[in-house]
């Protein structure tokens, strides 16, 4: 029989039985493996590599560090600023200026050609000495160290190349801390230890340009949350009504999250008390309208909701009734051009005369009392009757008949019966025939414009799939006029389209963008990218971001600033604005169950 416990194990002695080693916080946060080589450090499954900057140009521009900070790469950056005693630096400057002055005199005596670098150096030393003596400047020894983290050696090499190109394009030179990676890593860790000791003398002015917190920022003192800044994870807070105009254009491919982003903006502005009107070609906003207690009007040939194209706004106190009536007739001529498939110059003149007479027989003239206009508004059949009795209008009368008689008359030949008294209004035109959608869009927008002109207040008009209206010159012209004049009535127009090329093909496309202070570009298709890059002057990096962006990510422009932004919603907001059919059905079913309880 063998005795395996012949020697006593101290762990089995009394009081030490089953004793375990004590763990502390260092054991928990430490990586499983650390390996130090001449040019990097292995931290578990990651690689860390430290660099230092050793040379700067004569002048440094503010924000020179920004491109490196905004790289989508994890990194630690440390600044070490060591003050230098003024007496010591003045002594060295005096010695240096004596040396440079002697060289200049010697070259002059020998008849050598002037050395611009030497002369510039002399002037710089003189200026610096004067500023230090008068306490305008101080001298420092400045060290800047960077530690970059990557998963593979290939990715690290690519990042190093990128950093070199960023800095060397500004005549700033960077080197890896070879054989001192441990010291570099510690120097960029939050210990406050400068173990690399690679310093460059720098005075106050160039030192101030190294301030790192200058990433692209779009946060104002007030406004709604549009999203999260992809450059620095700050909040993109903005109030569109604080800009020179409140208009916005949105370009995105199908499924990129444009409707989600706009619904989120609508919901947040509604909480601010801003009224919102949406022209919805796919009835995507019906669920939102029902959720927030708004009104949804279905616009189609078989709908009970009617909009009369001949409606007139109530002239404001500072408006001339004659100008209001004339403007309305000009817009109606544009609508009729679309309805009739184009007209000749002679027919255009006849339409203008016929419209004036149509209003006149209803006692709506520049000299009549505007207070009585609303009771006497004509309809399409009144206009058709005038045309039938005019010489040369036979063709126009025949083409107009389908809108006054037959299936189209149910929508186009009716008085308006819509009451707009909610903060959120949606006009859905999904069920309108495809060929009539541009006409219906034009009529609804004219109706909305009349509402806007009646009373000045903060409003947002969302025109989804605006390319429908941009298909005709008159439709595009009306949209542009509304965008340009909306500022006077405190109206912000949001123009949304996924057909960028169709939008830009119109002569008004570029003008609409120019008159929109806000622009949102979400994920794009490669086919549209060239047009967008030229229109918005995008860099290659921004072009790549838009092509590879996830749903809800894109570039947000506000005035002269722009950032890469990610749209974020809370859980409650998401339940209200979601566009996913499956999610919408689940929410509707849950609401039905709650109603039956």
Complete DSSP assignment for 107-176: HHHTTPPP-HHHHHHHHHHHHHHHHHHTTS--EEEEEEEEEEEESSHHHHHHHHHHHHHHHHTTT-EEEE
Q: Which run of H or of E encompasses 226?
A: strand 224-229
Please report the pLDDT score of residue 217 as a whole number: 62
Mean pLDDT throughout 251-267?
A: 90
pLDDT band at 92 (very low <50, low <70, confident <90, very high): confident
In the chain, the largest separation of any two C-alpha atoms, in whole Å, equals 131
Report the pLDDT value the prediction gives residue 3, as an integer from 0 to 100.
Answer: 38
Beta bridge partners of 521: 251, 555
Q: Is the pLDDT of residue 581 over 70?
A: no
Q: In which band, very low, low, confident or very high, does the pLDDT at 157 lie, cut at 50, 70 and 90?
A: very high
- Of 39, 447, 52, 344, the residue nearest 352 (C-alpha): 344
Ranges for all domains in the chain classified under CATH 1.10.8: 308-415
pLDDT given at position 379: 92
Cβ(423)–Cβ(316) under 8 Å? no
Q: Residue 584: what pLDDT?
A: 66
- CB of 298 closer than 8 Å to CB of 279: no
What is the chain's mean pLDDT, rounded? Answer: 85
Q: Which of 509, 474, 506 is nearest to 495 (CA)?
A: 509
CA–CA gap between residue 503 and residue 587 (Å, rounded): 35
In the chain, % of residues over pLDDT 70: 93
Q: CATH code for 308-415?
A: 1.10.8
**In percent, how much of the chain has pLDDT > 90?**
33
Strand partners, 228: 235, 566
Rounded-to-integer distance, Cα 232 and Cα 220, Å: 16
Structure confidence by residue, pLDDT tens digits, 189-217: 999 999 999 999 888 888 888 877 665 56
Backbone dihedral angles phi then psi of residue 410, each to the nearest 5 degrees: -60, -25
In angstroms, the CA 450 to CA 310 distance is: 11
Confidence tier at 4 by pLDDT (50, 70, 90): very low
For 278, 444, 464, 470, 552, the CA distances from 282, given in Å and listed in that order, are 11, 15, 9, 17, 20
pLDDT at 155: 92
Confidence of residue 12 (pLDDT cuts 50, 70, 90): very low
- pLDDT of 6: 42
**Could you give the angle at which helices 345-360 and 380-388 cross, rounded to 10 degrees?**
120
DSSP state, residue 242: G
Contact (CB, 8 A) for 565 and 554: yes
> What's residue 7's pLDDT?
44
- DSSP E strands, 441-593: 459-463, 491-497, 518-522, 553-558, 561-566
Residue 589: per-residue pLDDT:
72
pLDDT higher at 255 or 47:
47
Cα distances (angstroms) measured from residue 243 to each of 105, 131, 490: 60, 42, 11
How many Cβ atoms sit within 10 Å of the Cβ of residue 160? 17
Residue 292's pLDDT is: 92
Token code pair at residue 566: 């990610």
The count of other CB atoms within 10 Å of the CB of residue 584 is 15
- The pLDDT tens digits for 461-516 are 999 888 888 878 888 888 898 999 888 889 999 999 887 777 888 888 888 988 99
Q: What are the pLDDT digits (tens) for 429-468? A: 988 888 888 888 889 988 999 888 888 899 999 998 888 8
Owner of token pair 């406004």? 223
CA neighbor of 512 nearest in space, from 525, 524, 496: 496
Most confident of 15-29, 62-76, 357-371: 357-371
**pLDDT band per the 50, 70, 90 thresholds, residue 419:** confident
H-helix or E-strand containing 529? helix 526-536
Q: What distance in Å separates the CA atoms of residue 474 and residue 483, rounded to the nearest whole number?
A: 14
Beta bridge partners of 278: 426, 462
For the segment 302-330, the average pLDDT, to the nearest whole number, is 87
Query: Which pLDDT value is given to residue 171?
Result: 92
Assign 311 to helix, strand or coil.
Answer: coil
Q: Over 80: is that where the pLDDT of 518 sits?
A: yes
Rounded Cα–Cα distance for residues 27 and 33 (Å) = 12
Residue 21 has pLDDT above 70, yes or no: no
**Per-residue burial over 52-83, b = 16 or more CB atoms within 10 Å of its CB, e = otherwise:** bbeebeeebeeebbbbbbbeeeebbbbebeee
DSSP 382-393: HHHHHHHTSTT-
d(CA 39, CA 49) in angstroms, rounded, equals 7
End-to-end, the C-alpha distance of the chain in Å comes to 78
- Degrees, nearest 5: CA angle 539-542-546: 140
Task: For CATH 3.40.50.300, list the domain ranges present in the chain.
Answer: 245-295+422-570
Distance CA 365, CA 362 (A): 9
Domain 245-295+422-570, CATH: 3.40.50.300
> Any idea what DSSP says for residue 584?
H
User: Phi/psi class of residue 565: alpha, beta or left (left: φ > 0; alpha: ψ in -120 to 50)?
Assistant: beta
């Amino acid at each position: 029989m063998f005795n395996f416990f012949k020697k006593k194990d101290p762990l089995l002695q009394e009081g030490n039985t089953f004793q375990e080693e004590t763990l502390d916080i260092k054991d928990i946060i430490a990586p499983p493996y650390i390996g130090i080589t001449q040019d990097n450090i292995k931290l578990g499954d990651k690689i860390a590599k430290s660099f230092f900057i050793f040379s700067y140009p004569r002048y440094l521009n503010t924000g020179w560090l920004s491109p490196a900070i905004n790289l989508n790469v994890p990194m630690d950056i440390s600044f070490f600023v060591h003050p230098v005693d003024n007496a010591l630096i003045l002594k060295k400057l005096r010695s240096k200026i004596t040396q440079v002055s002697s060289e200049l005199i010697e070259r002059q005596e020998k008849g050598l050609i002037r050395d611009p670098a030497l002369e510039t150096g002399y002037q710089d030393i003189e200026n610096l000495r004067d500023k230090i003596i008068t306490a305008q400047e101080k001298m420092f020894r400045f060290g800047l160290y960077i530690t970059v983290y990557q998963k593979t050696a290939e990715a690290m090499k690519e990042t190093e190349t990128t950093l070199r190109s960023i800095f060397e394009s500004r005549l700033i030179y960077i080197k890896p801390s070879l054989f001192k990676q441990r010291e570099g890593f510690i120097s960029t860790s939050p210990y406050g230890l400068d173990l690399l000791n690679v310093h460059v003398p720098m005075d106050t002015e160039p030192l101030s340009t190294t301030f790192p917190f200058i990433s692209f920022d779009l946060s104002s003192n007030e406004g709604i949350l549009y999203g999260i800044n992809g450059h620095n994870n700050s909040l993109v807070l903005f109030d569109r009504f604080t800009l020179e105009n409140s208009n916005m254009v949105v370009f995105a491919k199908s499924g990129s999250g444009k409707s989600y982003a706009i619904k989120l903006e609508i919901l947040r502005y509604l909480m601010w008390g801003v009224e919102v009107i949406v022209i919805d070609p796919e009835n995507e906003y019906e669920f939102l309208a029902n959720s927030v207690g708004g009104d949804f009007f279905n616009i189609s040939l078989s709908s009970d909701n009617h909009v009369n194209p001949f409606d007139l706004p109530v002239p404001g106190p500072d408006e001339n009734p004659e100008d209001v009536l004339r403007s309305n007739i000009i817009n109606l001529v544009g609508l009729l051009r679309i309805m009739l498939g184009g007209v000749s110059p002679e027919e255009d003149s006849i339409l203008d005369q016929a419209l004036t007479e149509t209003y006149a027989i209803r006692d709506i003239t520049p000299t009549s009392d505007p207070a009585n206009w609303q009771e006497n508004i004509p309809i399409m059949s009144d206009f058709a009757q005038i045309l039938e009795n005019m010489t040369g209008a036979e063709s126009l009368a025949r083409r107009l008949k389908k809108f006054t008689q037959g299936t189209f008359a149910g929508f186009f030949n009716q008085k308006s019966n819509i009451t707009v008294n909610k903060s959120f209004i949606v006009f859905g035109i999904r069920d309108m025939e495809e060929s009539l959608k541009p006409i219906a869009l034009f009529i609804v927008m004219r109706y909305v414009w009349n509402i806007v002109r009646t009373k000045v207040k903060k409003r947002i008009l969302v025109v989804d799939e605006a390319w429908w209206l941009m298909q005709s010159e008159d439709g595009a012209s009306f949209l542009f006029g509304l965008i340009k004049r909306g500022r006077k009535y405190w109206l912000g127009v949001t123009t949304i389209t996924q057909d960028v090329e169709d939008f830009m093909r119109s002569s008004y496309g570029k003008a609409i963008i120019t008159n929109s202070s806000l622009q949102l570009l979400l994920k794009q298709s490669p086919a549209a990218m060239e047009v967008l890059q030229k229109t918005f002057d995008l860099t290659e990096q921004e072009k790549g971001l838009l092509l590879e962006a996830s749903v809800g990510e894109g570039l947000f422009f506000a005035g002269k600033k722009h950032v890469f932004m990610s749209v974020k919603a809370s859980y409650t907001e998401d339940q209200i604005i979601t566009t996913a059919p499956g999610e919408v059905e689940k929410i509707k079913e849950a609401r039905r169950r709650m109603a039956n309880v």
